[in-house]
Amino acid sequence: MLVSYNWLQDYVDLDGITPEDLANKITNAGIEVEHLNYPGEGLKGIVVGKVESCTQHPEAEKLHLCQVNLGSETVQIVCGAPNVAAGQKVPVATVGARIAGNVKIKRAKLRGEVSNGMICSLDELGFDHNYVPKEYADGIYVFDDEVPVGADALPFLNLDDALLELDILVNSAHCMNMIGVAYEVSAILDRPLHLAKPHVEESDQEASEKIQVMIADPKKVPYYGARLLTGINVKPSPRWMQLRLIAAGVRPINNVVDSSNYVMLEYGQPLHTFDYDQFGSERVLVRAAGENEEITTLDGQRRKLTNEDLLITNGKQGVAVAGVMGGENTEVSAATKNVLLEAAVFDSISIRRTAARLQLRSDASSRYEKGIDRNRVVSAADRAAELLTQFADATVLRGIVDAGERTVPDCMITMPWQKINQVLGAQLTLEEITGTLKRLHFSVETEGDTMHVSVPARRFDVTIPEDLVEEVGRVFGYNHIKATLPEGTSAHAALTPYQKARRRVEALMEGTGLSQVYTYSLTTKESVASYAVRNQEAAPTQVIWPMSEEHAALRQSMIPQLINVVHYHLNRQMPNVKFYEIGKVFLPVAGAARPAEEEHLAGIITGKRSERTWEGEANDVDFFSVKGIVETLFDALGVSSQISYQPAKRSGMHPGQTADILRNGEVIGYVGALHPKVEKDNDLNKTFVFEVALDALIRHGELGITYQGLPRFPSTTRDIALVVKRATAASDLDRVIRKNGAPLLHSLRLFDVYEGSHVADDEKSLAFSLVYQDPERTLTDDEVNAVHEKIIKACADEFGAELRG
Amino acid sequence: MLKEKLLELRQQALSTIDSADELKALQEAHVRFLGKKGPITEILKGMGKLSKEERPDVGKLANEVRQLIAARIEEKKTDLEARLLDLKLESEKLDVTLPGRKTVPGSHHLLASIIREVEDLFIGLGFSIEEGPEVEQDYYNFEALNLPKDHPARDMQDSFYITDDILMRTHTSPVQARTLEKHKGVGPVKIICPGKVYRRDNDDATHSHQFMQIEGLYVDHKVRLSDLKGILTVFAKHMFGADREIRLRPSFFPFTEPSVEMDISCFRCGGHGCNVCKGTGWIEILGAGMVHPNVLRMSGFDPSEYTGFAFGMGPERIAMLKYGIEDIRHFYTDDIRFLKQFYRA
Ligand SMILES: [Zn+2]
């Protein structure tokens, strides 16, 4: 909503309040002034000139030589505008003037003729061409009335104005018109409000003899009023009205359309004018449109309606889509003589739906959508009639023909007045509270501790006691309220065990050199299902209207996005990177619209283990680098003993370098190398990834810590190297050794893997270091030997393992 | 005779020792002069041939010479060893300005750091951290927050719908509604809800279809707007510096009444006006307000018994303001050169 500072002064005395002051005060009272513009900013030396004579330029067909009276002198100006003529009063940029775009006007010679300045178009004075009236669109501006020659032209073009652009939210719809803003400003400044009641001269002829109004559904159309105006002379509206419309961002058309737009801006009441002679009947029937009923709107479009739309009809056919757009057949034209003026109230939700579906959001529909003052509808019709009488020579037929309720009662709010202090934490007196409400033009009665506030319909956003708390708070000013700290129950708060563990996971990942990233949950439909820890039967979750194909479906794994992040870095010469992400994955559930959400941890590493240093190049990361990361994680979370790894074939992963991660036998993640084909497709080097369901890892009970005293007796260490088939999994040997070593085997560590000339081609040697210990005594060699032999035998039995010589 | 010989030996030995420049030469000197077959041993062995009168004198002298030589060898040895050590140390000299072998930790994402800082502050103030689903029911995302279907304010947050009734949450407020519901009408409820939210925006320098939000909620008997002001003052000072001031401006959110925006005095210019605060001296940080009675009622709380406040902030905005980051997309592009700058954040 663009508010003209000059126009506002019609209603509230702004003496001593600069536009900046006003903008700040309005913003601080809750309606943000987004911009403050001075349309005449930078203009200088523009005066009213009178074209005394206008002759053809001897050398140029399209140029005119004008002798222009500037009050103090008469100068020659060469003008190329087609509409320049002798006798006109025009804005002249004199020599030395500045026009729009900070262009300086100099004395010039045009085809041999001296030009002392420039006669200006509105565009040259900074007006937005979209709002320039048609009659001035291709030429200079011409004053249509008495303006003093030689005077500064800016005030006559409203270029001494300031425009406040208000950001209208749902609760400030009452400020979508000048009167509403005036009420607000009157309350903020605590200054009186001057509103003139429209005065309509009516003829003796009753309008009701010429028109009837019927409403089919009073719920959707609470009120419909019509006035008839005859003998209209369609022409441009007066300069002041045009300039106010332009300031508000509305293009002037003619006096009829302009008057109805002007009243909408002033009163907030959308009006519509029909050419009565084209109306087709003497009857207005407002009803729901039929399914697929058609109407041609005044933009020339044929539109198909549904029975959700409200239609203004002449009893037979549609003449306007209610509150949204008029019909072409009844449009006011230059030839119009008689006008049917509509002032109505339509259901906001219905208008919103229709406007959205037809993609016809207009100044009118947006006001209906956000709500209008129910009690202003009749006076808005009167105001339009008044303007059309004055500026379009109209005769107003007697009476408003209408149906529905003309007014609605005030909203009564009863509350203990102290509630305002209780909610705000303030200490306002009763007088301060009622005084503030009266500034807002609400009437207040008090009765002991109780306050009865009567809120007029123009403030339809104020309906409950809390709304009054806000009204008092914002007008009184929140800066007057002292900060306190809550006095209520003291609450203890701490991270949940899950939140605590998740923070530890983050620290651990960063400790191992991985940097945290956040990627998008929405990704492409193609990549969305790949790399999921568990393949999903149900179709991926998709959004109905994606903004782009890039963000169309919900990820089931973070790996595809992490691959993109690595790709990004490779493209920028950063080949050694390591990242992790903790975030939700969304697993579709058959038969349910909502996916199951799991929090996962995923990581990706590629390149060297570290950047090259002066000591030389580090090794490349490999499968065991990435596996070491997850193992470190499991150790830190104390779950390693429940974790096992199984060779796995997964789509997009290297078939020989991928392991599923199991916790107590259930797959909770995987770790491995990307498939070389994926690496090639994405221009990646060797890249390793993991993803683990964090929920499954943390939530299912973290293992507690059981303290064990320090050993008091020495331990015995024995190393063995076992030769087994290459296909034998180290973890299987590990399991068998532990099982057979219990309880004396205290710890076990694999320290060498050998494949080569000293063993057979299909064999490998695994060397383990075994530590035997008993907490209660020193073990004898015999005791250790017995267990050790048992282990070797078990390995021989299960895997055909032989001791390496 | 023997005396002269001893004195001569002494002279010889001392000069040999003095001229020795390595340990080996000292050892040789030791063997040569003090060894079992050395001249002094010989002399002592031949003492028997001497007269009774000569014997004590020569014996004494021989022992003195022997001790002197031994002492001098020892002295020289210490000397040489010290010199050798110096040489060795000299040879081990490093360019201590060369870089060490660092472990390079990964960096914590700046948004995560900001969220953690806010979490820790509010935990200290007695707020627990609640989380909730990112794919929400329309009911929790809108209706329970006083945004019925067809409410015009729904335009304000165009959403990613999955079905007519399921959508990507547009704010973390549904967690508030869910938490209130869980408390079955009994306060206090004192929570903050951090998390990802989604809106149908085109990604550009100032918009992101996915971003973070942290919301706070405190519902109890007699919670006042002045309490909100107090808590937000603590927050502003903690996050932006102890000399920050705040102001509350009226605003509109469907789920709060009254609603306010919180500005802080500019941390760059201290309130005089600069390009960070666009000349106003104030920076808009977050939206807040007193929980709307409809919201309380719908989640099972009696608005005549309970009041509450709620607030919501954007970690991206806080980060961008604090560090002068110009493009919101940096947070999701994850360029390591961006990320690692905030290693210590
Ligand atoms: Zn500043």
- Comparing CB atoms, the residue among B134, B224, B336 nearest residue A424 is B224
Residue A18's pLDDT is what? Answer: 96
Q: Give distance in angstroms: CA of B210 to centre of ligand 1.
A: 28
Name the CATH topology of B110-342.
BirA Bifunctional Protein; domain 2 (3.30.930)
Beta carbon pairs, A and B, within 8 Å? 247
Measured between beta carbons, the chain B residues lying within 8 angstroms of A493 are: 122-123, 125-129, 190
Torsion angle of the four alpha carbons B314, B320, B326, B331, in this order, in degrees rounded to the nearest 10:
-70
Residues 6 or more apart whose CB falls under 8 angstroms from that of A2 comprise A163, A164, A165, A166, A247, A248, A249
**A720 has which bridge partners?**
A768
- In a mutational test of the B interface, the residue from A174, A484, A579 whose CB has the highest number of chain B CBs within 10 Å is A484
Residues of A (192-251) whose Cβ lies below 8 Å from B:
none
Is a pLDDT exceeding 70 seen at residue B157?
A: no
Give the pair of three-digit tokens for residue A12: 């509230």
pLDDT at B10: 87
Neighbours of B270 (CB within 10 A): 15
Which ranges of A663-777 does DSSP label H, i.e. alpha helix? 676-681, 694, 730-741
Q: What is the pLDDT of residues A196-242, one digit of tens each?
A: 999 999 999 999 999 999 999 999 999 999 999 999 999 999 999 99
* Any A CB within 8 A of B105 CB: yes
Enter the tokens of residue B114: 């900001």
User: pTM of this prediction?
Assistant: 0.84
Model pLDDT, residue A427: 93
Cβ atoms within 10 Å, residue A583: 21
pLDDT at A700 over 70: no
The pLDDT, as a whole number, for residue B66 is 86
Instruction: State the virtual CA torsion across A731, A732, A733, A735 in degrees, nearest 10.
Output: 80
- pLDDT at residue A675 tops 80: yes
Mapping DSSP to helix (H, G, I), strand (E, B) and coil, where does residue A37 land? strand
Binning chain B into helix, strand and coil, the percentages to the nearest 5 are 45, 20, 35
Beta-carbon count within 10 A of A736 CB:
17
Query: Phi/psi zone of residue B155: left (φ > 0), alpha (ψ -120 to 50 degrees), beta?
Result: alpha
Residue B62: pLDDT band by 50, 70, 90 thresholds? Answer: confident
Res. B344: pLDDT tops 80: no
Best residue in B229, B307, B309 for a mutation probing chain A (most A CBs within 10 Å) = B229
pLDDT, average across residues A419-448: 94
Amino acid at A492: H
CATH topology classification for A411-475: Phenylalanyl-tRNA Synthetase; Chain B, domain 1 (3.30.56)
- Cα of A166 from ligand 1 centre, angstroms: 23
pLDDT digits 0-9 by tens, A96-128: 889 988 889 899 888 888 899 999 999 999 999
Token duo for residue A54: 């206008």
Helices (H), A252-404: 255-267, 348-358, 363-370, 377-392
How much distance in Å is there from the Cα of A188 to the middle of ligand 1? Answer: 27
Q: For residue B226, which residues of chain A lie inside 8 Å, CB to CB? A: 424-426, 481-484
pLDDT (0 to 100) of residue B155 = 59
- Chain A contacts in chain B segment 246-265 (CB below 8 A): 247-252, 254, 257-260
Which class would CATH give A716-803? alpha beta
The DSSP-derived string for A476-509 is H-GGGSPP----S--------HHHHHHHHHHHHH
Ligand 1 centre distance from Cα of residue B274 (Å): 4
pLDDT exceeds 90 at position A787: yes
Q: Tokens 């005449």: give the residue.
A: A40
Question: CB-CB: which of A481, A491, A615 is closest to B225?
Answer: A481
Angstrom distance (rounded) from CA A83 to CA A139: 6
pLDDT band at A362 (very low <50, low <70, confident <90, very high): confident
Q: Is A497 on the interface with B (CB under 8 A)?
A: no
Q: Looking at the predicted structure, is the pLDDT value of residue A701 above 60?
A: no
Buried b / exposed e across B114-143, counting CB within 10 Å, b at 16+?
bbbebbebbbebbbbbbbbbbbbbbebbbb
Answer whether A682 touches B (CB < 8 Å).
Answer: no
Average pLDDT over residues A56-71: 89
Instruction: Flag whether pLDDT at B44 surpasses 90.
Output: no
Kindly report, as residue ranges, where domains of CATH 2.40.50.140 are found in chain A: 44-157
Q: Answer whether A659's CB lies under 8 Å from A648's CB.
A: yes
Pick the CATH number of A497-698 from 3.30.930.10, 3.30.360.10, 3.30.300.10, 2.30.30.90: 3.30.930.10
pLDDT at A702: 57
Read off the pLDDT of residues A236-246 as tens digits, 9 standing for 90 and up.
Answer: 999 999 999 99
Which of A423, A516, A594 is closest, CB to CB, to B135?
A: A594
Per-residue buried b or exposed e for A510-532, using 16+ beta carbons within 10 Å of the residue's own CB: bebbbbbbbbbbbbeeebbbbbb
- Checking if the pLDDT of A502 tops 90, the result is yes
Q: How confident is the model at residue A137 (pLDDT cuts 50, 70, 90)?
A: confident
Instruction: Say if residues A669 and A633 touch (Cβ distance below 8 Å).
Output: no
Interface of B with A in 45-64 (CB under 8 A): none
Q: Which position has the token pair 């079992």?
A: B36
Bridge partners of residue B197, in order along the sequence: B211
Q: What is the DSSP string of A76-87?
A: EEEE--TT--TT
A183 touches chain B (CB under 8 A): no
Mean pLDDT of chain A: 92
Tell me whether residues A169 and B247 touch, CB distance under 8 A: no
CA distance A804 to B21: 54
Q: What's the A168 CA to ligand 1 centre distance in angstroms?
A: 26
Looking at the DSSP assignment, which residues form a beta bridge with residue A98?
Answer: A44, A104
Q: Indicate if the alpha-carbon torsion angle B87, B91, B95, B98 is positive or negative.
A: negative
Mean pLDDT (chain B) is 91
What SS3 class is residue A124? helix
Q: What is the 3-state secondary structure (H, E, C) of A161-212?
A: CCEEEECCCHHHHHHCCHHHHHHHHHHHHCCCCCCCCCCCCEEEEEHHHCCE
pLDDT at position A703, please?
A: 58
**Which neighbouring-strand residues pair with A404?**
A223
Domain A2-35+167-189, CATH number (from 3.40.50.1360, 3.30.56.10, 1.10.357.10, 3.40.50.620): 3.30.56.10
Alpha-carbon distance of A358 to A711, in angstroms, equals 82
What is residue B273's predicted lDDT score, i.e. its pLDDT?
87
Helix, strand, or coil (residue A518): coil
**Contact call for residues A164 and A27 (beta carbons, < 8 A):** no
- Summarize pLDDT for A161-181 with one digit per residue, the tens: 999 999 988 778 899 999 999
Residue A452 CA to residue A438 CA, distance in Å, equals 12
CA–CA min distance A735, chain B (Å): 33
Are the C-beta atoms of residues B276 and B130 closer than 8 Å to each other? no
Q: Which residues of A touch B340 (CB under 8 A)?
A: 515
Please write the tens of the pLDDT for every residue from A409-431.
999 999 999 999 999 999 999 99
SS3 assignment, position A620: strand
Flag whether A124 is marked binding: no
Cβ within 8 Å, pair A519-B334: yes
Is residue A760 predicted with pLDDT exceeding 60?
yes
The C-alpha atoms of residue A49 and residue A87 are separated, in whole angstroms, by: 10
Residue A506 annotated as lining a ligand binding site: no
Taking the C-alpha atoms of residue A528 and residue A292, their distance in angstroms, rounded to an integer, is: 40
Q: Where in the sequence of chain A do the CATH 3.30.56.10 domains occur?
A: 2-35+167-189, 411-475
Number of other residues whose CB lies within 10 A of the CB of residue A359: 6
Cβ of A466 within 8 Å of Cβ of B292? The answer is: yes
Chain A residues close to B221, C-beta within 8 Å: 488
Q: Does A493 touch chain B (CB under 8 A)?
A: yes
Q: Which two tokens stand for residue A642?
A: 């429940």
Element (H, E) at B13: helix B2-19
The DSSP secondary structure of B88-141, one letter per residue, reads HHHHT---TTS-----------HHHHHHHHHHHHHHHTTPEE----SEEEHHHH
Fold of A44-157: OB fold (Dihydrolipoamide Acetyltransferase, E2P) (2.40.50)
Option in B108, B123, B162 nearest A544 (CB): B162
Percent of chain A with pLDDT over 70: 99
Q: How many residues does chain B have?
A: 345
**In this structure, are residues A470 and B259 in contact, taking their beta carbons and an 8 Å threshold?**
yes
**CATH number, span A202-404:** 3.50.40.10
* pLDDT at A528 (0 to 100): 87
Q: What pLDDT was estimated at residue A641?
A: 87
Residue whose pair of structure tokens reads 């509409």 in the numeric block: A83
For residues A254-273, b (16+ Cβ closer than 10 Å) or e, as one string? Answer: bbbbbbbbbbbbbbbbbbbb
Q: A387-408, pLDDT tens digit by residue?
A: 999 999 999 999 999 999 999 9
Protein residues with C-beta less than 5 angstroms from the ion ligand 1 = B 266, 268-269, 274, 276-277
For residue A251, the tally of other CB atoms under 10 A from its CB is 18
Q: Do B106 and A496 touch (CB under 8 A)?
A: no
Q: What ipTM score was computed for the predicted complex, to two decimals?
A: 0.86
**pLDDT at position A724:** 94
Q: Do B332 and A520 touch (CB under 8 A)?
A: yes
Cα separation of the two ends of chain A: 92
- Please tell me what DSSP assigns to residue A143: B
The residue written with tokens 């399914």 in the block is: A291
Chain B residues with CB under 8 Å of A464 CB are 257, 293
Contact between residue A386 and residue A199 where contact means Cβ atoms under 8 Å apart: yes
**Alpha carbon of A480 to ligand 1 centroid (Å):** 23
Spacing, Cα B247 to ligand 1 middle (Å): 15
Distance B269 CA to ligand 1 centre (A): 4
Is A461 assigned to a binding site?
yes
B135 Cβ under 8 Å from any chain A Cβ: yes
Which chain B residues have a beta carbon less than 8 Å from that of A567?
none
Across the range B215-237, mean pLDDT stands at 96
Candidate from B190, B196, B250 with C-beta closest to A30: B250
